[in-house]
A and B are shown apart, each in its own frame.
Chain A
């Protein structure tokens, strides 16, 4: 057994053990902490699988944003003191059976792979130079499967609408009910003043480098969103009211630009979401930059939660 496979076996064993204890542990806080640990380990696993793009996303979402979101949810359910509906035995058995079915399906797929695994990777690598991009993942996301990427960003906006629709009528257009630090803490303020400049530079770098190396709009946007939330949680700045025009503008800027370029493709390149020859890379970089801002604002507002207070005039 080579030394690399020793590492892989140890990592897989650790991931399975942490995954099992995430399910088995009874306290919500403990389960969330385990889930964050699980996310950190998964990002190392993605690195071992040579999927650095996915590892970056997992590190940002699984290790950072999910922890912030879920811990907020735990605190909220604690303060509201929801008992939760009692789940009877038939429902539990049905859940168990459905989960077993999914696992069995996955096991069959994993244990009996087709002899020749269908792949489009060689075709992608062959056509990639035409787009001017160096990162095959960015190529798939913005050239070959651009429609999926566009719809994915729209889904993010729909999710945000879902969260906002939980607002009571009197608070509509008001301030999100993000829990902030109750008293001003010099340590937290120190972090919120020092970390965001580094984080913002790294977020922009992620977006820029995405065309050539692993990285991209989603990873960059997540970093920007996290830095924004840190500043808000430390009490240095208030969360914006959701009725603000600039906020709504930023939210739709990315998808609208993407859609506009896609529609222009019909005129200049004979197909929806096709890029005119020679302009592919600059157009994609522009779309990525706009998407980074939109994703940052959307994720930040998702974590900030539904509006709770009416806007102060």
Chain B
């Protein structure tokens, strides 16, 4: 059973790390602010989400709840920050 769990951890953490790379590449290569914001949100939800998913089997159940809460908090602030930045860009242009 623990082998299955370890394989799950390895797969999910690697996939999450890859999403960090994808998000960074997106931030570097995408042409304008709004598309870059789109790349950034993938890091918040999928990158961190997969890493948290991968860490869950390695922790006690109480700590696992905390890990999920951390992910939800980052989701919340990530979504709000993206909205706020996008709103500022629409109003004032990219130089804010």
Contact = CB atoms under 8 A, between A and B. Distances in A.
Q: Do chains A and B directly touch (beta carbons under 8 Å) in the complex?
A: yes
A187 B80 CA distance: 6
A159 interface: no
A187 B77 contact: no
For the complex of A and B, the 9 pairs showing the least CB-CB separation, nearest first, are A187-B83, A191-B80, A187-B80, A187-B84, A194-B76, A188-B84, A198-B73, A195-B76, A190-B80
Given A187-B87, A195-B77, 12 more contacts: A185-B87, A187-B80, A187-B84, A188-B80, A190-B80, A191-B76, A191-B77, A191-B80, A195-B73, A195-B76, A198-B69, A198-B73
B73 to A, nearest CB: 7
Nearest to A190: B80
Interface residues of B, number: 8
Interface of A: 185, 187-188, 190-191, 194-195, 198
A194 B69 CA distance: 13
Interface of A is mostly: helix
B38 to A, nearest CB: 17
Contacts of A187: 80, 83-84, 87
A187 to B, nearest CB: 4
Contacts of A190: 80
Interface of B is mostly: helix
Interface in B48-96: 69, 73, 76-77, 80, 83-84, 87
A194 B77 CA distance: 10
B85 to A, nearest CB: 10
B41 to A, nearest CB: 14
A198 B69 CA distance: 10
Contacts of B83: 187
B88 to A, nearest CB: 10
Contacts of A185: 84, 87
10 contacts: A185-B84, A185-B87, A187-B87, A190-B80, A191-B76, A191-B80, A194-B76, A195-B73, A195-B77, A198-B73
A191 B79 CA distance: 10
Contacts of B77: 191, 195
